[in-house]
Every structure is written in C-alpha cells, then in structure tokens.
Structure 1
C-alpha cells in the first residue's frame, strides 16, 4: 500500500532537516496521490530534478513504494518549463526543493 503524497513529503522534509540539510515545499499538490517532483541542489550549486518514475518500473515486491527518476535539465529555465508542462497535464503535483549532497539517500531511485 502506497503512502499519501502529503505523508511522503512530510517524511522527506523531516529526514532532510534531521540530517542537517534544507527542504522547502514550493508547491502543494493533491494530498492523496499528487505526483512529486524533487529539485535537489548540492552545496556547489549543481541542480538535479527528480520526477516520478514510470509505472513500468514498479514491481510487486516494492509494496507500492514511490520511485524517482532523474530528469535531464539544462538550467533553472528548463525546470520551470518542465513544471509548466506538468501543470497543463495535471495541476495536482508537488514540488519540493532539497539541499543535500546525497539525494539518493532520501529518494528511492530507478536505473
């Protein structure tokens, strides 16, 4: 059973803060099942955008765990353009920005 988007975001931000990082919710989406996007900033300024992995990566063994996939981005404008496209498709998405050197420690990633 998959936890709600709201609970996942709360859990993620709490874990980041506990470990000395920074997290901010930039956009709130649907509480139960909104897609979650994570903008990860390293302390050197490098930015990586993580979006929901396609359902084809899900398996019966993962118990409905949310999985993320790094999306290729060029700059801040590309991130904003990605969110604009997502808003036209489905406006109920979340955006969380985190500052950590180890985003993979907090997000279940696929290939």
Structure 2
C-alpha cells in the first residue's frame, strides 16, 4: 500500500487512506473520484488464469460507490480504503508492479 501511495505522489495524484484496516491482513479497496460526482472502486481478485488483478467493484455516482464501500466495510472491518482524486481518471492500478 505504501508503494502505491508513493507512486501516486510521483505523478502528483492526490490519495488518502480514508479507512484503516488490519495492518497485516486487511484487504484494500481503491476508490477513484474524478471530482465530477462520479467514482469507481477497485478491489484485488483473480482472473481466469489465477493472476492477481485489480477489478472494478463499483461504478457510478459518488454516493452509490460510497454505499458499496460501506457495505464492504460492514462485512470486513479489516478492510483498508484508499481514495484517489484525479479529474483525468488516473489510478495507476494497471501500472507494472501493482497488479
């Protein structure tokens, strides 16, 4: 998680830890806010070849994505949530080393 936040800083993309989970075992969700009322949320999962990937968990109005995140946190109190703010929609999750 710290490597991801550092990489975002290199590109001057603001990001904040908005929910802290378990420091050793908590899953991470990344919320991307495009600052126009829309947002997306991404979580780690596996593709059909069992490779770890970032996949879209929610997409829509900011309030809808927040509701999806609240539901996830209700079932997983160890969950970390990072909010990324970028008008261009950059999240860097598809960059080498973050897959």
TM-score (norm 1): 0.67
Q: How much does 1:45 deviate?
A: 5.6
1:90 aligned to 54, 76, 79, which one?
76
Moved more, 19-28 or 66-75: 66-75
Q: Partner residue of 1:52? A: 44
Q: How much does 1:39 deviate?
A: 0.8
Q: Partner residue of 1:37? A: 29
Provide runs of 4+ in structure 1 moved above 6 Å: none
Bigger share in helix: 1
Bigger share in strand: 2
- Partner of 2:78, secondary structure, is coil
Ranges in structure 1 where 5+ consecutive residues have no aligned partner = 1-8
Ranges in structure 2 where 5+ consecutive residues have no aligned partner = none
Once residues 79 and 49 of structure 1 are traced to their aligned partners in structure 2, the CA distance between those partners, rounded to angstroms, is 7
Equivalent residue pairs, number: 94
TM-score (norm 2): 0.74
Alignment of 1:55-66 (within 5 A): 55=46, 57=48, 59=50, 62=51, 66=52
Once residues 22 and 16 of structure 2 are traced to their aligned partners in structure 1, the CA distance between those partners, rounded to angstroms, is 17
Moved more, 84-93 or 24-33: 84-93
Q: How much does 1:96 deviate?
A: 0.3
Once residues 84 and 2 of structure 2 are traced to their aligned partners in structure 1, the CA distance between those partners, rounded to angstroms, is 12
